[in-house]
């Protein structure tokens, strides 16, 4: 078994430990943030952490009503811009806590008056020393180059933070059990991956709460399977990218029931007319029926809770597809676990 696959299977326990270990701390941080006059939240990250932050942007804006921006680290690191952040909450997200550019943004944000939070898996990291407060993923060491358990851990911490500072009830305590249900698709995903063993290009589609997942699966397919994977929202896909679709072209869909369901159905109907090969990860029987292949998780009934259970079969798909292609997902060419950029 690959290290990547082993760490995918650890995730229910990681999520439970993270809730238990960080819930009380986040409640106190949330009380403090509620008393501050925060006008904007800025998220800063790279790689898989940036994809988790993309989810965090949607969740925090919807639940708090505070505008959320994804930081461009180069604004700070290359152009030396001095932003006015006195009424900002700046959140750095990094598996290792050693991303040089991410930590530099946190330092500059503090100098500009922002309150800063670090989300990391490493309590002794540089990020943990810089940030005003640190939220920890209780994942243990992540050995696989392809992040899996730290990605879902980061997403989970955004749920806890949104519940602490927002006005919407989030039943995040259900997520570890829903993740276990998603892992029951393991055998089905392994068989399905064989069907796509010769895939070289694909498109990954997700919208709303699952938009970050579309970026994350595309990244996993690129780094572990060497598949050229583009990612789009179902709304944006009609604005040009639809032209690349021909007979048999693979499209992987994150298609939850809820407010994004109709746009998914509209796109799937058009893709069916074009004879595309659509693989959907969904809790909607209708979306599953419209798809060439589907991985159905009916136990997830709340759209807000779909991102972590939905990324599980996607991670499994990338790990098993690498295996089907004769590749080692633990040793992607040209990559290392910690990437330090400026």
How much is the pLDDT for 340? Answer: 56
pLDDT of residue 78: 80
pTM here?
Answer: 0.95
pLDDT at position 252 is 97
- Report pLDDT digits (tens) over 96-146: 999 999 999 999 999 999 999 999 999 999 999 999 999 999 999 999 889
Do residues 298 and 285 touch, judged by C-beta distance below 8 A? yes
- The C-alpha atoms of residue 206 and residue 77 are separated, in whole angstroms, by 31
Decide if 216 contacts 46 (C-beta within 8 A). Answer: no
* CATH class of the structural domain 3-170: alpha beta
Contacts 24+ apart (CB under 8 A), 292-297: 293/192, 293/195, 295/185, 295/188, 295/189, 295/192, 297/178, 297/181, 297/182, 297/185
For residue 285, give both structure tokens. 């029987």
Q: Do domains 3-170 and 176-324 have the same CATH topology?
A: yes
Q: What percent of the residues of the chain are helix, what percent strand, and what percent coil, each to the nearest 5?
A: 50, 15, 35
**Residue among 123, 170, 126 nearest 22 (CA):** 123
Question: Which residues lie below 8 Å from residue 4, measured CB to CB, with a gap of 6+?
Answer: 144, 146, 148, 224, 315, 318, 319, 322, 329, 330
Check if the beta carbon of residue 314 is closer than 8 Å to that of residue 306. no
**Interaxial angle between packed helices 307-324 and 149-165, expressed in degrees from 0 to 180 and rounded to the nearest 10:** 170
Task: Check residue 339 and give its pLDDT.
Answer: 59
Looking at domain 176-324, its CATH architecture is 3-Layer(aba) Sandwich (3.40)
Closest by Cα among 118, 158, 148, 116 to 136 = 118
Per-residue pLDDT of the chain (342 residues; tens, 9 = 90+): 899 999 999 999 999 999 999 999 999 999 999 999 899 999 999 999 999 999 999 999 999 999 999 988 888 878 887 888 999 999 999 999 999 999 999 999 999 999 999 999 999 999 999 999 999 999 999 998 899 999 999 999 999 999 999 988 999 999 999 999 999 999 999 999 999 999 999 999 999 999 999 999 999 999 999 999 999 988 887 777 777 888 999 999 999 999 999 999 999 999 999 999 999 999 999 999 999 999 999 999 999 999 999 999 999 999 999 999 999 998 877 656 555 566
Instruction: Give pLDDT, residue 237.
Output: 77
Cβ–Cβ < 8 Å for 75, 182: no
Retrieve residue 211's tokens.
């938009």
Q: How far is CA 54 from CA 45, 207, 208, in A?
A: 9, 11, 10
Domain boundaries, the chain: 3-170, 176-324
């Amino acid at each position: 078994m690959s290290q990547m696959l082993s760490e995918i299977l650890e995730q229910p326990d990681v999520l439970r430990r993270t809730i238990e270990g960080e819930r009380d701390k986040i409640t106190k941080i949330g009380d403090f943030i509620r008393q501050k006059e925060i006008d904007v939240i800025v998220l800063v990250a790279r790689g898989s952490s940036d994809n988790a932050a993309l989810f965090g942007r949607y969740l925090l804006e919807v639940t708090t009503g505070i505008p959320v921006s994804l930081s461009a680290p180069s604004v700070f690191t290359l152009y030396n811009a001095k932003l006015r952040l006195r009424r900002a909450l700046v959140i750095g997200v990094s598996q290792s806590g050693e991303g040089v550019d991410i930590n530099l943004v946190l330092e500059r944000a503090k100098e500009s008056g922002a309150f800063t939070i670090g989300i990391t898996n490493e309590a002794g990291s540089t990020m943990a020393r810089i940030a005003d407060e640190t939220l920890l993923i209780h994942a243990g060491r992540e050995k696989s180059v392809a992040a899996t358990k730290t990605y879902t851990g980061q997403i989970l911490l955004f749920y806890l933070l949104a519940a602490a500072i927002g006005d919407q009830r989030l039943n995040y305590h259900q997520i570890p059990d829903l993740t276990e249900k998603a892992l029951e698709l393991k055998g089905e995903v392994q068989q399905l991956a064989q069907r796509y063993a010769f895939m070289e290009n694909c498109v990954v589609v997700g919208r709303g709460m699952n938009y970050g997942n579309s970026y994350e699966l595309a990244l996993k397919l690129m780094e572990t399977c060497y598949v050229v994977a583009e990612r789009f929202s179902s709304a944006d896909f009609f604005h040009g990218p639809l032209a690349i679709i021909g007979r048999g072209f693979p499209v992987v869909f994150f298609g939850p029931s809820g407010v994004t369901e109709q746009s998914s159905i509209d796109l799937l109907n058009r893709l069916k007319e074009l004879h595309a090969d659509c693989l959907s990860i969904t809790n909607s029987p209708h979306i599953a029926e419209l798809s060439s292949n589907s991985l159905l998780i009916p136990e997830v009934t709340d759209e807000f809770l779909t991102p972590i259970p939905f990324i599980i079969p996607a991670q499994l798909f990338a790990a098993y597809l690498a295996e089907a292609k004769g590749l080692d997902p633990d040793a992607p060419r040209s990559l290392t676990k910690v990437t330090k950029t400026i």
